[in-house]
Amino acid sequence: MRILFATGNLGKLQEAVKVLPNADIQLLETDTVEPQERSLGEISKYKVRTAAENSETDSGLVMADDTGLFVDELDGFPGTVSSLFEDRVGSEKLLELIKDNRSASFRCSVDLRGEPGYQHHANGDKHRRHG
């Protein structure tokens, strides 16, 4: 099965290849705009829809995802803006903001889109306490 992964993160592409060894996962180079939404699911659904609409392919499935770090003590912050926070402020500053409770969840939302009318959505998370 061919899956075109709309991502600018080659690490995510490599991970998808490991997790889905029987699939033919290829990078889909297309412009995707990441909306500032409160939900990873809303973001991944938007990204897969726009990637499928903007790409010039009509074969295979298109996949897009969004991930985030949700810190319990910070009421889920940085959440959907984790990458932006990391780029602009850094993880050291995030650790300074956390006083007592270092538990957090890393969450991911993935969407697949194929033939007209076919779309599948999945969520996952990993909860952990650090320090």
pLDDT digits (tens, 9 = 90+) for 80-108: 999 889 999 998 999 899 988 889 999 99
Domain membership of residue 58 as a residue range: 2-129
pLDDT above 60 (res 131): no
**From 66, 72, 75, 125, active-site residue:** 66
Q: How far apart are CA 54 and CA 71, in angstroms?
A: 34
pLDDT above 80 (res 31): no
How many domains, the chain?
Answer: 1
pLDDT level of residue 112 (50, 70, 90 thresholds): very high
Long-range contacts of 118-125 (CB under 8 A, 24+ apart): 119/45, 119/48, 119/49, 121/41, 121/44, 121/45, 123/40, 123/41, 125/70
Active site (annotated) includes residue 87:
no
Q: Return the closest-CA partner of residue 130 out of 73, 79, 82.
A: 73
Question: What CATH number did the domain enclosing 79 receive?
Answer: 3.90.950.10
| Phi-psi region at 85: left, alpha or beta (left = phi > 0; alpha = psi -120 to 50) | alpha
